[in-house]
Amino acid sequence: MEERRIATPGTPPDAELELGRLGEFVGFRLRRIQNQLSREFAQVTGRYQLRQGLFSALAIISANPGLSQVMLAREVGLDKSMAVMMVDDLERRGWAERRRSTVDRRRHALYTTEAGEAWLAEMFAALEVVEHDVLDALGKDDLRVLNAILDRVYTACFRG
Amino acid sequence: MEERRIATPGTPPDAELELGRLGEFVGFRLRRIQNQLSREFAQVTGRYQLRQGLFSALAIISANPGLSQVMLAREVGLDKSMAVMMVDDLERRGWAERRRSTVDRRRHALYTTEAGEAWLAEMFAALEVVEHDVLDALGKDDLRVLNAILDRVYTACFRG
DNA sequence: TATTGTTATACTCTATAACTATA
DNA sequence: TATAGTTATAGAGTATAACAATA
């Protein structure tokens, strides 16, 4: 079962087709890549029985111990109600925990557990496999360039 | 009503937060940007009452008159059943039409209508506004670099 | 009054499976 | 047998609105 085949949608586009003016838009490229990547992601993480946002959420909690749910939501770019559900899930699995903040009793301070850190390490390894083809095709340098540009793009999204 | 405010989720992340090892992964950046961009897209296109894929689909039909639905699906990176629904929608709006292919009678050859082209032009203009901040923050050169890298990424997705 | 967390709900996007008609 | 198109359906991901507790 080491097969890496993906169902119908994972088929590459015909080389002859034109993008036309659509090719000028970042949004289009982003979406099609992200669709593809998240299908592969789902394949890998499917074995682990988890939903998309979970991994990112735990990784961010791990990198920022004690952060609040609102902060988490902002960092992943989703609504705070999403943070609630994700943290619920993480807690249920025993990978993260909420502690009432001592400074602001409205807040929950979020922390990873030991089991959470272990799982995180496992997932990082698995995800490197998912992104392997991408990393390969780009090389370290271009990857850095890409990430830097993407960060600028993300920041630019918030200049109203 | 020229406001550009976006509801809760559009709030920028706290600058102090760390991405940690997550920062090495393209998938994460892609998803958060794409979420943000598609929210803005939805804001703009909401007035036009249309769903996400529609614009890309029509643009591709316009750039490749006579293509089949399977080809369309592959180009946008989705399942063929999606193509059916999108073309249904486009036809209902009078922006595209199916004609039985003369060479292979299983196929539908897709074409845009005059109204479709007009609407497409309108949408391209509207979308330039959506991506304006992004384009601004990058500049023509970096944008080209970004698009080129993204295309390589997309292609790399299919090297199983 | 504003913010944090919460719940319930509804909507959009997408894949899957089963089917038909052609090839 | 394989491909193009179709249909119906189920699942994931997400936003919205309304609310309680705390600031």
Angle, vertex CA A82, rays to CA A125 and CA B29, nearest 5: 45
Query: Which residue type occupies A55?
Result: F
Query: Domain residues of chain A, as ranges?
Result: 24-155
Instruction: Give me the residues near strand C, CB below 7 A.
Output: A 7-9, 31, 35, 39, 68-71, 80-81, 83-85, 87-88, 98, 101, 104, 106-108; B 42, 51-53, 78-79, 81-82, 85, 104-106
The model's pLDDT over A78-119, given as tens digits with 9 standing for 90+, comes to: 999 999 999 999 999 999 999 999 999 999 999 999 999 999
- Residue B94 CA to residue B131 CA, distance in Å, equals 27
Helix (H) or strand (E) holding B97: strand B96-100
Question: CB B35 to CB A79 under 8 A?
Answer: no
Q: What is the mean pLDDT of residues B68-83?
A: 94
The model's pLDDT over B41-65, given as tens digits with 9 standing for 90+, comes to: 887 777 677 788 899 999 999 999 9
Q: What is the pLDDT of residue B26?
A: 86
Strand pairing partners for B100?
A: B108
Distance from CA of B106 to the nearest CA of A (A): 18
> Which residue from B137, B151, B160 is facing A156, i.e. has the nearest CB?
B137
Q: Tokens in use for B57? A: 């689909």
Return the closest-CA partner of residue B138 out of A49, A157, A2. A157
Name residues 44-103 of chain A within 8 A of B (Cβ): 52, 56, 59-60, 62-64, 67, 71, 73-80
CB of B69 closer than 8 Å to CB of B108: yes
Distance from CA of B83 to the nearest CA of A (A): 11
Q: Please check the confidence at residue B30 and state whether its pLDDT lies above 80.
A: yes
CB of A102 closer than 8 Å to CB of A51: no
What is the Cβ-side half-sphere exposure of residue A84, based on CA atoms within 13 angstroms? 4
Return the closest-CA partner of residue B10 out of B28, B29, B37, B46. B37
> Which residue from A18, A67, A79 is facing B64, i.e. has the nearest CB?
A18
Domain B24-156 = CATH 1.10.10.10: yes
The model's pLDDT over A131-160, given as tens digits with 9 standing for 90+, comes to: 887 788 888 899 999 989 988 888 888 765
CB of A34 closer than 8 Å to CB of B27: yes
- Residue A2 CA to residue A17 CA, distance in Å, equals 32
Residues 6+ positions from B9 with CB-CB distance below 8 Å: A73, A77, A78, A79, B35, B39
Domain A24-155 = CATH 2.40.10.10: no
